[in-house]
Structure 1
């Protein structure tokens, strides 16, 4: 049964940023677990909305409040970007690390902050959403971070470039040489080859440069401007992590949560892939929670809806997800 909760708003200072954060706590009860929510790849506000886009899923606020209602303390925070409320206060510190690893260091600071703010609890769980799952899986491997449980929320099972390559290969089987993502169409072979070349650090071929469907790719990444170089380095750093290899190394118990209508880049079969990779190494401490009708942010969507339509559903996050998370953690603490 859900209990009242309270929220404390604060600022997380890490890696040269001041990031809006919120600690959600059960009202007047002893804390069961401390849970840190690690955000995904895009710039989000403290609730998990994406300013400047139609996506307002408020996933992180929903999960925090639902979990606090079940007796847990949850810390969530914004990512730097326009409209998120986050500020850069030390550019030199920011530039000390590249974009992708910088997010892990911020997450580590958040873990330490949560432990400081809530010193008494049955355990500490790291729950990473989407790209945040990749950072969380690396943090959970570090004994000095003291992580007692890891939860993957819509986390990728494939390397970053492979998410795009795999999707294009599957679409090409159905659509042929030109594949339609809804917002744009591309030549499948050139699209796949572009990611292979970016992974290898090689320039685009003349065929790719001459392909009008690849104009955005060429302008975005076949360039020597600082923004293009930073973006390409981010993708390569992300791509260097194989989630299925890394999740098998996590020593603490693992829960994989996946929606069956997830087509965000992460796909519905990613949960099963992560589960199987971890289960093969640690069968007794691995669990999969699969929700067939939920999308990337755990909202209900109907069959036939496009992925663009699915991503802008803004109803409350399905309570089954927090219920499973809470019950699983309670079982561990027992």
Structure 2
């Protein structure tokens, strides 16, 4: 699931203020793929005519993200957040409430804010109690570390854990899923990467878990809005290089565990580096991003009650247009290719299907705007166009690919089937693909597997899944 936030430190500017006082903290909530996320805007007065704002997402443990602009005109509030290509626009309704819209990229969501006290804000930030979250004493060595990439352009913060005692230990790097995440994979009170690292370290395997760019102690770097999974794969290489400087580590037994998008990145690194001894793909993709996003969109339509015929028609159109991304060098190229595809598809549909999908209300300009916004995101354009076969077919080290049977984000049968096909054709002699029944994309024991269920589940990560991963690694590092 694509997360909302990237961290930055920039100064906010404000226009002329001739309205009621807006200083203080304001909270509201948006729904993203069925998940409720609280957003907090903290507004301070910096002079008689200027203001600065910071932005928090406490459910994601993201705080103090500086805004790029803050402007108040009469009863209207405008906050720009350049780092997410969005912001907030609202109208003040009394001294304690604001009604408006939150935007990120092409997405626009209704967001009403209310003013809160410092105590209420602190309560939002309080850590939820999850029984699997590790508590000291850990029973192993845990160390906060920091390091840079080769040209010093990127700084990383991480936690290194290893078993107590002497020896050369096998080690893994956990590669996060899509979006900006801290080293623990913090989401809705769960910290799955920490829980997995704790389990592995207690079973004799050292772990390095790393803050993504812009999270924790890792720097944001340049041009973050255009960075892709390929760029992030070189971040993993920097972490691999650091791990090899540790005297406690067996350099011949270094592996990667990639979750979700990380399951696409791990093969990229393993295809380039002979020092990667094994990789684990945790809910990783085997098909293109175009296919994954099409399936996710289709599922959302089904949940809205759209009939199966119309959903199937939408899937055909959406996948056809997303597939054009790979052959479009520019947005103008894409805009030339979309209209004939759309019009040909439209002629083949019944009026019932067109009405169900609201096609009569959409102009060609609306269609182009939707896909242009997606195309202009460097990360999304790469993800949509990338086929995992590119790297997976070059991976010769052992591979474990595991996916939850109730994963609604990366379908187990479709993706594991393709991974198996790729590795078989490429001649990899040591791989295993496995569906773990009853688990969702985070490897929680789930009822439906829906994203909305993640927060409701007490379990952070199934012990069954952790045992499968750990046992497979130990078998390959003997």
TM-score by length of 2: 0.57
- CA distance in structure 2 between the aligned counterparts of 1:191 and 1:215, rounded to whole angstroms: 16
The answer to whether the 8 Å contact 1:171/1:179 transfers is no
Q: Which has the higher strand share?
A: 2
Residue 213 of structure 1 deviates from its aligned partner by 11
Aligned to 1:13: 148
Q: Deviations over 1:82-134 (max 9, x none)?
A: xx32454653xx57984332201111101111111245325111111111111
Contact 1:130–1:154 (Cα < 8 Å) also in 2: yes
- Per-residue deviation, 1:56: 4.1
Summarize deviations over 1:220-262 as a string: whole Å, max 9, x none.
6425xxxx6651x323323443224532321111111111111
| Structure 2 partner of 1:73 | 206
Q: CA RMSD in A?
A: 3.5
Q: 1:159 to 1:96 in 2, by over 3 A?
A: closer
CA distance in 1, matches of 2:147, 2:309: 48
Query: In 1, distance between residues paired with 2:272 and 2:474?
Result: 23
In the other structure, the counterpart of 1:130 is 260
Name stretches of at least 5 consecutive residues in structure 2 with no aligned partner: 1-137, 329-333, 344-357
Higher mean alpha-carbon deviation, 15-24 vs 169-178, is at 169-178
Q: Is the 8 A contact 2:141 2:164 kept in 1?
A: yes
Residue in 1 that maps onto 2:294 = 165
CA distance in 1, matches of 2:424, 2:456: 33
| 3-state SS of 2:190 partner | coil
Which residue is equivalent to 2:435? 290
Whole-angstrom CA distance in 2 between matches of 1:90 and 1:168: 31
Which residue number in structure 2 is paired with residue 44 of structure 1?
181
Q: CA deviation at 1:59?
A: 1.5
Task: Tell me which structure has the larger Cα radius of gyration.
Answer: 2
SS at match of 1:60: helix
2:402 corresponds, among 246, 252, 257, to 257
Which residue pairs with 1:274 in the alignment?
419
Which residue does the alignment assign to 2:463? Answer: 319
Q: What TM-score does the superposition give when structure 1 sets the normalisation length?
A: 0.78
Change (3 A) 1:244 1:255: same
Distance 1:214 1:313 in 2: 43
- After superposing on structure 2, the runs of 4+ consecutive aligned residues of structure 1 that deviate more than 6 Å are 169-174, 206-210, 213-217
Unaligned runs of 5+ in 1: 181-185
SS of alignment partner, residue 117 of structure 1: coil
Q: CA deviation at 1:317?
A: 1.2
Task: Quote the Cα distance in structure 1 between the aligned partners of 2:370 and 2:186.
Answer: 25
Q: Tell whether the 8 Å contact from 1:32 to 1:71 is kept in structure 2 after alignment.
A: yes
Q: Which residue of 2 aligns with 1:183?
A: none
Distance 1:110 1:323 in 2: 25
Aligned residue in 1 for 2:139 = 4
Size of the aligned set, in residue pairs, is 311
